[in-house]
Structure 1
């Protein structure tokens, strides 16, 4: 059975919607990088930073439902509805199926 980045993106959104921080963190590679334009541009590249980012994210930008999902290079592009509107996220995965990078921002900014 091969890795399905679209299914992994849906699993990520499901964990996000449920507020399951440990599940979310386990989906990321140890060297993952996050570029987030929600509430100001930020780049996160450490495990400690990733945890702090998700604590804030779950509190300030809870996700509700899936808006769109499509393939994107070595990953998936997913958009979802959050409190302040639609958010676009591009997830790329490493060879082990872990999230290597996440780039996100308000959908109207064309992430």
Structure 2
């Protein structure tokens, strides 16, 4: 891996905390998939769906402080607090450091 997946996860959370939708979207691969179990199970693909998800997420569930960060084989586990409580996210990355999948839930 030519990038640091833990640093990439922190950059993702920093952009989320800043409410920077363009930076967040720029971190995702073109074929990225979000599996979200926050408020009901959702699977999202395509740039339009990711944008709609993040615009809504930033408005309804802003992120606050980091709780935990761990690297586990091919996944980076990051947990953080939002307005609705603790959320755990699993990020996988492609070879160039873009987010390939995000799986999140309470």
Indicate the residue corresponding to 1:55 in structure 2. Answer: 55
Q: State the shift of 1:2 in Å.
A: 2.9
Greater RCO (CA < 8 Å, at least 6 residues apart): 2
- Give unpaired runs (5+ residues) of structure 2: none
Aligned partners of 1:58, 1:92: CA distance in 2, in Å? 21
Is there any run of 5+ residues in structure 1 with no aligned partner, and where?
Answer: 107-111
Deviation, 1:75, is 3.1
Classify the secondary structure of the residue corresponding to 1:13: helix
Tell me which residue corresponds to 1:91.
Answer: 91
Structure 2 matches for 1:1-111, cutoff 5 A?
2-106=2-106
RMSD over aligned CA atoms reads 1.1
Misfit runs of 4+, over 4 Å: none
Distance in 2 separating the partners of 1:72 and 1:46: 27
TM-score (norm 1): 0.92
Q: Compute the TM-score of the two structures, normalised by the length of structure 2.
A: 0.97
What is the aligned residue count? Answer: 106
